[in-house]
Amino acid sequence: MNRGSTNVWYENWIGLGALYHIVPNDYTINEDMQEVAELRVDDTWDEQLLVQSFPTDIAQHIKQEVIFGTTENSWDVPRWMPSPSGNFSVSSAWNILRHRDHVNPDYNKIWTKDLPFKISFFLWILWKGKIPTDNLWRRSGYLVVSKCWCCSQPQEETFQHLFLTSETATRVWRNFLQAADLVINLVQVHQVIRTWWNAKCYPKLMHLYQAAPAVITWELWKRRNTMKYGGAISCNRVIHEVNKTLHYLERIRYPWLSIIPPLWSDMISFFEGYKPYVGTKSGSNAILMVHQEAILVQADMGFVFEIMLEIWCLRKNIR
Ligand SMILES: [Zn+2]
């Protein structure tokens, strides 16, 4: 607010909206008064005129909250009310326009740390039911003669068939579910994925269980595409690729553990039996067992915390 040429009644110069809409319905407004400058006496408000022109609370608000600028000769400048600086920003406009949905806990599980982005992204698309299998085309109104690419005796390609009920999909899921001791009927893809996410397991296996359904469905999808364009991938190959990615995830997560077994079932046994160390106090020595590795550590304290051991392993690995 500078020279105060803003319209008194129809512009939002008090920060609460246009006064025309704010004053009570039965309040008689003085339409002869047009510019805010008319409410001003030198450098301050004409308090008497404020009280005469507006309801008491509004007059009070103007007196306390609305201030004139110091540059006497400048015109009033518009201010963008949603941002404190008064300057327009696209992000503040976007925040007003956008519809914020409730946080969906499922979406947190889709994104696994260290898992390649393309795999998590694929699971996100799958979770929303947007994978372009033949039944999706049909639902969108296209006439499709459907034939799956995953079976030697082709059947109709549906989402459930490709990712769950086909012979290959069933074998792959069973291979990983059984080793993890998870029991579930393979009826619905989302339900199987949730079983992995909600499984009770050892903490060090948790992110692996979270990633497993993403990696399995990703490899099934890759196989389908390869077969569709003339290639061939065996079921064992799919299992091997899933294994490889899960093993890679563990290596990234626990770089100081050099002996993580590459096979899924062994990986589970390994982490279920994982003990960071067994320490015994014997004079100035502490004898530590790390899995099958026995390490002698000179420790005057006679008591070694897990974190110290992990730092030691990390340094050994780097060397
Ligand atoms: Zn099939």
Q: How far, in Å, is the centroid of ligand 1 from the Cα of 121? A: 24
Q: How far, in Å, is the centroid of ligand 1 from the Cα of 166? A: 5
Asked if 264 contacts 211 with a C-beta cutoff of 8 angstroms, the reply is no
Q: How far, in Å, is the centroid of ligand 1 from the Cα of 224? A: 9
Write out residues in the chain with pLDDT < 70, as ranges: 70-73, 275-319
Instruction: For the chain, give the percent of residues with pLDDT over 70.
Output: 85
* pTM higher than 0.75: no
- Cα–Cα separations (whole angstroms), residue 81 to 89, 91, 98, 288, 306: 11, 13, 17, 64, 54
Q: How far, in Å, is the centroid of ligand 1 from the Cα of 149? A: 6
Q: How far, in Å, is the centroid of ligand 1 from the Cα of 283? A: 66
pLDDT of residue 44: 83
Q: How far, in Å, is the centroid of ligand 1 from the Cα of 150? A: 4
d(CA 244, CA 200): 23
Q: What residues are paired with 45 via a beta bridge?
A: 40
Q: How far, in Å, is the centroid of ligand 1 from the Cα of 176? A: 20
d(CA 15, CA 50): 16
Q: How far, in Å, is the centroid of ligand 1 from the Cα of 175? A: 18
Q: How far, in Å, is the centroid of ligand 1 from the Cα of 82? A: 55
Q: How far, in Å, is the centroid of ligand 1 from the Cα of 126? A: 18
d(CA 138, CA 196): 30
pLDDT in tens, 207-241: 999 999 999 999 999 999 999 899 999 999 999 99
Q: How far, in Å, is the centroid of ligand 1 from the Cα of 162? A: 6
The tokens describing 69, both together, are 């600028």
* DSSP code, position 35: B
* DSSP code, position 161: I
3-state helix, strand, coil in the chain (%, to 5): 50, 5, 45
Q: How far, in Å, is the centroid of ligand 1 from the Cα of 210? A: 26
pLDDT of residue 240: 96
Least Cα distance to 241 among 259, 255, 226 occurs for 226
pLDDT of residue 70: 64
- Cα–Cα separations (whole angstroms), residue 32 to 10, 35, 37, 189, 272: 13, 9, 13, 71, 83
Instruction: For residue 90, give the 3-state DSSP assignment.
Output: helix
pLDDT of residue 6: 86
d(CA 158, CA 135): 5
Q: What residues are paired with 290 via a beta bridge?
A: 293
pLDDT of residue 125: 93
Q: How far, in Å, is the centroid of ligand 1 from the Cα of 136? A: 16
The residue whose two tokens read 């390609």 is: 157
* Beta carbons within 8 Å of 257's beta carbon, 6+ residues apart: 250, 313
d(CA 196, CA 180): 9
pLDDT of residue 304: 33
Least Cα distance to 185 among 160, 202, 208 occurs for 160
d(CA 50, CA 95): 35
pLDDT of residue 71: 62
Q: How far, in Å, is the centroid of ligand 1 from the Cα of 120? A: 24
Q: How far, in Å, is the centroid of ligand 1 from the Cα of 172? A: 13
pLDDT in tens, 260-300: 898 999 999 998 887 665 544 444 444 444 443 433 333 33
* Beta carbons within 8 Å of 265's beta carbon, 6+ residues apart: 179
* DSSP code, position 296: E
